Amino acid sequence: MTASDDRPNWFMYFQGSEPAHYRWSSAMASVLGFSPWGGSEIGDVDRVGRRLIDHVGEDDRWFREWVAMGDEVRSLAEREEAGGHDLSAAGAYLRACSYYLIGERFRTPKDDAGLAAFRTAVDCFQRHAGLNDWPRIEAVEVPYEDGSLPAYLVHADRPGPAPCVVYFDGLDITKELQYVRGLKEIVRRGVSVLAIDGPGTGEAIRFRGFPLRYDYEVAGRAALDYLETRPEIDADRVGVMGVSLGGYYAPRCASMEHRFKACVAWGAIWDYEATWRKRIEAEFNTSLSVAGHHIAWIFGVDTSQQALDALAGFPLDGVVQNMRCPFLLLHGEEDVQIPMEDARSLYEAAGSADKTLRVFTVEEGGAQHTQRDHQTNGITTIADWLAEKL
């Protein structure tokens, strides 16, 4: 927010050279980007930002300020609901959900306060779903191993069984945040969405005890098996997509499970073990969207070395050569989290005959990681492509 001669070519809310400035700025870009789909109000975000500007890197302060804003907006939602203003309440509940989740994201390992904020966020989202007029959002459980994965089936309005895309999270995002990143753009084009907290993310890691795993096709198959039971879904037209680390999940699933008819990687992942080895060797003094110890937490281990051991199965070389369905890969030309060479390696190795690498530039917007500086460019590209392929 302060002038600087060495500021980057893309949006940075908190100007500075420390990793915390990037981490906090990336989160601010994300929450500001939720606004077109009702997930934030720019004035709310800036009010929090102004209270945080002199406290960059103080993650406890980040948590407190965002939870306070969530509380404020949730109170508004409750007043509107009590007054019979269901749509106004629905909108406020959705914004409150986003604020709680954006505040909780840096709180690892998760403590009682963080988990309470997360539960409140999920409750707010479900209240939004119950009061909102469009699209229809159904909370569902996807059978998985000895339990289930929580998900939302967001229904497209169209005659007959609809095509669908299974939408997995990333390293630090949730099914609720996927919704406010423009998921409605996909539904608007006639494709239903199963937004799911897979192993290592969202409710699945916090409340179900399912840590991250390399063989994500197990979760992908579970989602497909579930969708085959739903008469509203055309099980022969189901794709898979993921954002950020989901750029590993989705290609892995599509390569190992050929029932998927299309695949979208919203951000490239190539060799995630090598990516984290570099980050750990740099003592996390690099551009990260989360605190460094997050990687150990989602694996359910205690040390960075144990996390690296768990990442040994994550390279996609030797896997994505087996992909056969149409494949769309999106990347930003100034993504400082994942280098462009990883995107090109993934694209070139993918076995699909129909494949597209879409690189967004600074000039058009979307040059940052997963187009967080211009989320409209990213999600509309994805939505149009899915409508064509499915």
Q: Are residues 239 and 161 in the same domain?
A: yes
**Reported confidence tier of residue 227, pLDDT bands at 50, 70, 90:** very high
From residue 44, alpha-carbon distances to 72, 97, 99, 263 in Å are 10, 13, 9, 35
Q: Are residues 248 and 323 in the same domain?
A: yes
State the pLDDT at residue 17. 86
Whether residue 125 lies inside any domain: the answer is: yes
Report the pLDDT averaged over residues 375-380: 98
Strands of the 327-332 sheet, one edge to the other: 136-144, 147-155, 192-196, 162-168, 233-243, 263-266, 327-332, 355-360
pLDDT exceeds cutoff 50 at 215: yes
Q: Are residues 341 and 202 in the same domain?
A: yes
Whether residue 7 lies inside any domain: the answer is: no
CA distance 205 to 115: 11
- Unique residue bearing structure tokens 């890969």: 329
Burial pattern 321-330, b for ≥16 Cβ within 10 A else e, equals: eebbbbbbbb
CA 250: distance to chain centroid? 12
Whether residue 299 lies inside any domain: the answer is: yes
Q: Are residues 120 and 233 in the same domain?
A: no
CA distance 27 to 289: 7
Is residue 234 within 8 A of residue 194, CB to CB? The reply is no
pLDDT exceeds cutoff 60 at 2: no
Whether residue 5 lies inside any domain: the answer is: no
Report the pLDDT averaged over residues 53-58: 96
Token readout for 83 is: 């007054």
Q: Are residues 248 and 118 in the same domain?
A: no
Domain end, chosen from 81, 106, 133, is at 133
Percent of the chain topping pLDDT 90:
95
Q: What is the pLDDT of residues 283-300, one digit of tens each?
A: 999 999 998 999 999 999
Q: Are residues 287 and 206 in the same domain?
A: yes
Report the pLDDT averaged over residues 359-379: 96
Looking at the structure of the chain, the number of domains it has is 2
Q: Are residues 234 and 260 in the same domain?
A: yes
Q: Are residues 92 and 164 in the same domain?
A: no
Residue 327 maps to which CATH number?
Answer: 3.40.50.1820
State the pLDDT at residue 4. 45
Q: Are residues 92 and 208 in the same domain?
A: no
**Reported confidence tier of residue 109, pLDDT bands at 50, 70, 90:** confident
CA distance 104 to 125: 15
State the pLDDT at residue 257. 98
Token readout for 314 is: 């994550």
Q: What pTM was computed for the model?
A: 0.97
State the pLDDT at residue 11. 82
Q: Are residues 127 and 154 in the same domain?
A: no
pLDDT exceeds cutoff 80 at 141: yes
Return all residues near 48 (Cβ < 8 A) that are at least 6 apart.
Answer: 65, 66, 69, 99
Q: Which domain holds residue 388?
A: 134-390
CA distance 237 to 244: 24
Domain end, chosen from 133, 158, 175, is at 133
Q: What is the pLDDT of residues 316-349, one digit of tens each?
A: 999 999 999 999 999 999 999 999 999 999 999 9
State the pLDDT at residue 7. 58
State the pLDDT at residue 277. 96
Q: Are residues 175 and 90 in the same domain?
A: no
Q: Specify the amino acid at residue 367.
A: A
CA distance 196 to 251: 16
Residue 40 maps to which CATH number?
Answer: 1.20.1440.110
pLDDT exceeds cutoff 80 at 3: no
Q: Are residues 382 and 299 in the same domain?
A: yes
Whether residue 4 lies inside any domain: the answer is: no
State the pLDDT at residue 6. 58
User: What is the pLDDT of the chain when averaged over all its residues?
Assistant: 96
Domain end, chosen from 87, 112, 133, is at 133
Is residue 147 within 8 A of residue 203, CB to CB? The reply is no
Report the pLDDT averaged over residues 356-373: 96
Whether residue 8 lies inside any domain: the answer is: no
State the pLDDT at residue 76. 98
**Reported confidence tier of residue 104, pLDDT bands at 50, 70, 90:** very high
